[in-house]
Structures are given as C-alpha cells and as structure tokens.
Amino acid sequence: MIVLGIDPGYALMGWGAVQGEGSRMRLLGYGCIETHAGTPMQYRLRTLQMGVRDLIAMYHPDDVAFEELFFARNVTTALMVGAARGAAIIAAVESTDQLYEYTPMQIKQAVAGHGKADKRQVQEMVKLLLNMKELPRPDDAADAIACAITHLQSGRGKEQFRMK
C-alpha cells in the first residue's frame, strides 16, 4: 500500500509518500509544495492543487492522509491554510475517494509514543522508523511523512479516520 501524507499549508504544503507492506515501511519521497508571498491567492491555491495532482500522478497512492488543522489564535492564517487544504482535497478526490485525516495529537502519539511530542522528537522517530540517514526537513515534510506513517499503522482501524 502506498500512502501520500499531506501537511496542509499555504506557503509550504508538506508531503510524504510512504509504502507499507505488513509492518515494513519504505519512504518513496518527500518535500514541500511552495507558494510565494505576493502572488495572488487564486494562483497560490492553483499551484498547491496542481502540485498535489502531480504527486498523485507520480506515486499513485492507494490512500491520501491529511493532517487536520489546528489553530489557537490567528484567524487569517487559519482561513488561508483552510483554503490550501481545500485545494489539496479537491486534487486528491479527483483520483481517489480514499481520503483520511488525523489530528496532530494522533500523529504524535502514533509516531513518537505520546501526543505532546515536539517537532524534533517526531523528526527523530520518522528518521528511525524509515531508516533515513538524516532528519527529514523541513518540518512540514516531516509532519506529512509522520501522517502517512500514522495511516499505515492504523491498519484495519483506518475507516474511523475516513474523511467525512
């Protein structure tokens, strides 16, 4: 099974493609889709949507797993990231209806063993679980890989995380 993990963002949208077979996992690729400040919103969203389409065409994921949004204070940022997430969801649903979502706490729990792990702990565990030589960077990409790992580890229970 191939899972494309996505950490929604407006300036940087992290992604990670992970293949799982039983308890074994292999990293296929990771990175970020980047948009630039000063570019009109509609073009930034189009860049994100086309980037996700390209990733789906490249990796042919069986499932796409999104990190849910969590914002404590900045409403403007939340709206922009929500729009970016929407663009990514539209791109994904054009190819599959196997869309899932996990909270940041669920991802940290699954990858690092506790829901309040910091970014560095998540990166270290991603590196360890996938036998990487270096820490995955930037944070957005590491979070997306962790989301894909979380989905692979959910096994038969994944249906409870299906996007509704």
**Residues with a known catalytic role:** 7, 67, 140
Instruction: Of 148, 157, 160, 158, give the one whose Cα is nearest residue 25.
Output: 148
Question: Which class for 91: exposed (0-12), middle (13-18), buried (19 or more C-beta within 10 A)?
Answer: buried
Q: CA-to-CA distance for 1 and 126, rounded, in angstroms? A: 18
131, two tokens:
């036998």
Distance (Å, whole) CA 14 – CA 26 = 18
Q: If DSSP codes are grouped into helix, strand and coil, which group holds residue 29?
A: strand
